[in-house]
Amino acid sequence: MGYSKEIYDKAFKFISDTKKAKEQAYLHSLDALRGLDKNFRDIEVSLSKLGSELVMVAFSGNTKRLDEIKEECEKLTAEKNKILKAARVEKPGFYCDKCQDSGYLGGSVCGCVKEVARKFAFEELSSSLPLNDCSFDSFDLNFYPDTDMADGSNPRKRATAILNLCRQFANDFPSVNRSLLFMGDAGLGKTHLSLSLVREISAKGYGVVYGSAQNLFSAAEKEHFSFSGTQTAEESLLNCDLLVIDDLGTEFYSAFTASLFYNIINSRLLSGKPTVINTNLSFNELEKKYSERIASRFIGGYDMKKFIGSDIRQIKALKNI
């Protein structure tokens, strides 16, 4: 899974805290029962005394008394359990029976941790992105004219084809062998479909990193030149299950950014990790700004789709006037 270390740490802490909370609640219930039931208190005192005697008798070799103590302990324990059952006080179970709340199973991270990490990652994305507003079902094809343009292209048919492509991409993930490059003017639905992909693929339990090119590259550059020895941001860009880069072309472009961007594109293609990129630039503009090497990677490993039509945001705004 491509979740960040912070997300995994949060998941491990959640499971640990849940275990502690259950144990504390159990101890609190026992204290409450002791205050209400004298018989329960007497049984616990007796069991404690018998336990101390048991150790001494075991060393003495008095097998007869040893058997008597064991029998007394069994009777008192049965009475204690009967009281506990009547009071509905039960020992806390594990959050995960498989790993017994250790977080690891067979030397690997247990599925319970991955499931909690998935929930935290989705909550984190949902809090910072309008995922509730963006889904495949809310992608309204009526905003795209159903008429052929001068070059023979039809905006609605093209938008329909791209929508179906995205649905299939999400359905097949992670068994997809191509990345996606969305091109076209602002307000044509590129971000909407990208966020819909984020929504669907995050919900399936995969680690997704989403952000504008400016924010993602700036975070990696700041971390690189902080000399802290950590490369969490860059590692996330390289290793997450799905990387979505929005507004490519609006970032401040430097020698570091150029090297980083090529490394991201090339490394993720080589490792078979899909990427989704949105840009207002044409392919020729991309090639001119980011070099022929990157352009060739787009041609070889990306499904490139151009959005056409009118600015949907403007259409919506004019309707509200």
- The pLDDT of residue 141 is 93
pLDDT per position as a tens digit, 41-62: 999 999 999 999 998 988 888 8
Q: Which string of DSSP letters, residue by residue, matches 211-276?
A: EEHHHHHHHHHHHHTTT-S--HHHHHHHHSSEEEEEEETSSPP-HHHHHHHHHHHHHHHHHT--EE
- The pLDDT of residue 2 is 54
- The pLDDT of residue 229 is 44
Which positions of the chain have pLDDT values less than 70? Answer: 1-4, 122, 125-132, 226-232, 316-321
- The pLDDT of residue 3 is 65
Sign of the torsion formed by the C-alpha atoms of 153, 154, 159 and 164: negative
Domains of the chain: 129-319 (3.40.50.300)
CB contact burial 220-232 (16+ within 10 A = b; e otherwise): bbebeeeeeeeee
- The pLDDT of residue 230 is 46
Q: What is d(CA 300, CA 260) in angstroms, rounded to the nearest whole number?
A: 19
Query: 181 to each of 3, 130, 260, 282, 306, how far by Cα in Å?
Result: 23, 21, 18, 11, 8
- The pLDDT of residue 126 is 56
